[in-house]
Structure formats: structure tokens, C-alpha cells
A and B are shown apart, each in its own frame.
Chain A
Amino acid sequence: MNPIKTFVPIINGLKITLGHMFKKPITLQYPDERPKVATRFRGLHALNVSHNKAKCVACYLCPTVCPAKCITVEAGEDANHDKFASVYEIDMLRCIFCGYCVEACPVDAIKMTGEFELANYRREDFVYSKERLLEKK
């Protein structure tokens, strides 16, 4: 056993660990410190609003393109005989956050927010209704 070959790597390693000790820790103290969410992050969906109602025209493009089949849309007719989504639900347990619904939408009615804390206590709570999805101003 060569003492130089044995001890030099250990001493080099000790130097490295001591050097790291004085670096700033990269830990994020999560519930107290919030992570910076990138602008293109694909989190919880939100339905865009214009003139105090959802922009969605219930064209069914998003449930068609959705690979996880998590979007349920039912069309309705409002007082001006315009088509609108009377039911718009997204099942977050199925959603894979691919963002295809946003891409497919012809009227820019749906977007994805930076909201990532989607845990819930009951399965029903994971199905987001239209009211819960409407964008918060």
C-alpha cells in the first residue's frame, strides 16, 4: 500500500468538502420561501375572461386534442343566442399538463398558470369546475 496514493486523494477530498461547507446552501425553505415559477411553466389551468364572462365558445377543440381525455365541455346557448360552455370541467387526476388545450384553443380562452400546489383531500376536489377555473383577477 503506497501511503501517498492512499492519503493524497483523501486529503483532496477533505479540501473539497471543507470548501463546500462555506458555500451558500441551495436549499429552498419551501413553505416559507416560494420558488420562482418560470413564465412558461404549465400549472393549473385558468379560463380567460373578457367582458365579465369566459371567452370559451365551447368549440370542443380542447377535449378533442386532449391526450388524457380530462376535459369535459357541454355547450349551452345564452340570451344573445351565442354558444358558450355551460359545463367546463378538468379532471386534474387525469391531466398530464401537456398544454395542448392552450395550443388548440382558437379564441385564447384557456391558459396555464404557475399554480402548482394541487394537492387535495378528496378525489372529487380534483375535478375543477368552471367556477374554480375562471381566471382570478
Chain B
Amino acid sequence: MDIVILGLPMMYYIAMVAKVLVAFVFVLLTVAYATYAERKIIGHMQVRLGPMRTGWHGLLQPIADGVKLFFKEEIVPSQASTFAFLVAPLIALIPAFITFAVIPFGGVIEVAGYKIPLQIAAYFDTTAGKVFDVNVGVLYILAMSSLGVYGIVLAGWASNSKYSLLGGLRASAQMISYELSAGLSIVAVFMLSGTLSMNEIVKLQSGLGGFEWYVFKQPLAFVMFFICSIAEINRTPFDLPEAETELVSGFCTEYSSMKYAMFFMAEYANMVTVCALTTTLFLGGWNGPLATTIPLLGPVYFVAKVYFLIFFCMWLRATVPRYRYDQLMHLGWKVFIPLALLNIVVTGIWNFIIQ
């Protein structure tokens, strides 16, 4: 392989593409099996079994669901605005997946003499001897997660149904107000790290055997960010946009077959992304014992932490009932935003005193 493109050999590009593919397929599988895990975990928490009949202990259930949804009839309501109706699931799904591009899921591994950082949007510069990634990675994530709102609002509007419209409206109000407090609560982290690059943030948390994690320095920010993230991705206890008791199925009431599956996937992909982001920002990312000496351990630690947070989301869903809409708005605007601002002020004063 001595074909050289832009001064880099073919092998390098193959390794890069392989990295992207492996990461994407892994996220996709996690999304598929998160649905299974959710049904199983909540089932057991309610002293039931969950899916049992498709494959051993229901292990093929996500595949069966996918195949079923794929072959279902595609219904577009006659009064719906067709283009927006068709494009909305894509707008919801794509930002959920591309957010993953800047999340580092491991250190630097060496393949055939080339150092490859385990982060999709990153490369290892041999002359500088360090990893370069998107230096405003968090900003990119915040931007992408706010794009996801458009999919849901568009779905609500284009369906031309009262339930969908109300679901879409609720979603937009909720996601925008919680995005504000989620963004504000992680500002405190950036005041400590001094960078927005995800790779740098992970590196800063590597010391002291885990006690450098930002969850210990910023516990309030961690709790607030996690709660606001759950609210932003519309999961229980904040799943008002699809409150089936009031709104049938919310913004996806009129959707069927693969388009419905896309919303479903977007929801779970968002959950994976948010858990990955929380891990990166607060739980030390891929850091762990021996992770720097054995590079392949990094992704293992990362996945373990992310899965724990996903489990926590499901655990929360099995425990807490849905918030009322006014309580939700009260919590977002009157509790979290002042608390986040206060946290920023206190962190600023603290930083000033230390310096």
C-alpha cells in the first residue's frame, strides 16, 4: 500500500474509515439494544420478565421490532404537508448520531505504525506529537442537540393534528428552556478546564486515580446537567411531548412504520449521546486504571461508564412519574437557571481566590 493521498498513505485512510464505521455501528447496536435493555430492566423492576420469546431471553427482540416496523404500511395523512412530514424524522435522527463525532471514546492506538486517536473528528499530528480535535467540541454538541428540536417541532406541525401540534409545542418549549440551563451548568466546567475541546477535558481529568473527575469538583453542575439533559431528550420523568395519557403519542402520533422507528432511534441515540457527553465532561471520559498504558482499555472504561448512566436513565424511568407541565417549567426556569448562574459565580470567585 504505497498510494499516497495528501501526504498520507492509503492505510491511514482505511484505518480512519474503519474507526468511524466501528464507532457508528457500535452506537447503532447500542441504540437497538438499549430498547431491549430498557424493556428488560423496567420489566424486572416491576417484577415481570420483559421480552422472553424472541430468541434466548428475547435477545432478538430489537431485530424483530425493526423488521416489523420496516414492513409496516407507510401512512402520510392526506392533510399533512408531505415534504416536512417526510423530512422531520431525518432531522430528528441525524443530529442525534453526528453528535458522536467529537466524543473521545479512547486514547491513541497504533495501527500499522500510524497513531490513531479514538475520536471520530480528530487526528494525531506526528510533528507536534499530540492529538488535534475540534477545539470547540462542546459548542458543536450543543448546536447539534438544539437542531434535534427542529425535527420534533416540524413533525408536530407537519402532521396537521392537534395532538401532534401540542406535542411539538411542548417539546420546543421544554427543550429550549432546558438547553439553556444545561448549557449554563457546564459553563462552570469550562471555567475549570479552560478549553472546549473534548480531548483536552478528558486529559485534564486523568490524574489522582479518578479524583480529578469534574463530578467531584462540580457535583452540583453534574446533577443539574444530567437532569437537564434527561429533560432535553424528553425522557421520563420529563416526557411531556409524548405524554400518552394526554396527547396519544405527542409529535409522532401520525407517524407509522420506518418513520416512527426513526423517531424512536433518535430518542435512544440522544440518550446514548447525552450519557456519553456526561461521561466525558464529568466522569473522566475513557480514563481508568491502566487506560494510558493499555490503550484498548480506554474504550472499555468509556463504554462501562456510558452504560451505567444509560442504566441510571432506565432506573429513573421505572421510578419517577411524569412531571406536570407547570412543574417542569418551574423547575427549568426558576430552579435550574438561577442555580446554574450561582454555580458559575461561585466557581468564578473560587478560581479567582486560588489564583
Contacts and interface: CB of A to CB of B under 8 A. Distances in A.
Interface of A: 1, 10, 13-14, 16-18, 20-27, 29
Ranked 10 nearest A-B pairs via Cβ? A27-B49, A13-B319, A17-B45, A17-B319, A25-B49, A21-B44, A17-B318, A21-B45, A27-B48, A20-B45
Given A1-B335, A29-B52, A10 B45 contact: no
Contacts of A18: 45, 315
Nearest to A16: B319
A20 B47 contact: yes
A26 B47 CA distance: 6
Contacts of B49: 25, 27, 29
B297 to A, nearest CB: 28
B5 interface: no
Contacts of A21: 41, 44-45
A22 B318 CA distance: 14
A14 B318 CA distance: 8
Contact of B47 (A1, A10, A14, A23): A23
A20 B46 contact: yes
A10 B320 contact: yes
Contacts of A20: 44-47
Contact of A10 (B43, B44, B318, B319): B319
B316 interface: yes
A25 B319 contact: no
Given A10-B319, A14-B319, A25 B47 contact: yes
A91 to B, nearest CB: 35
B316 A14 contact: yes
Given A14-B316, A21-B45, 10 more contacts: A1-B335, A10-B320, A13-B320, A16-B319, A17-B315, A18-B45, A21-B44, A25-B44, A25-B48, A29-B52
Given A1-B335, A29-B52, A14 B315 contact: yes
Contacts of A25: 43-44, 47-49
B42 to A, nearest CB: 9
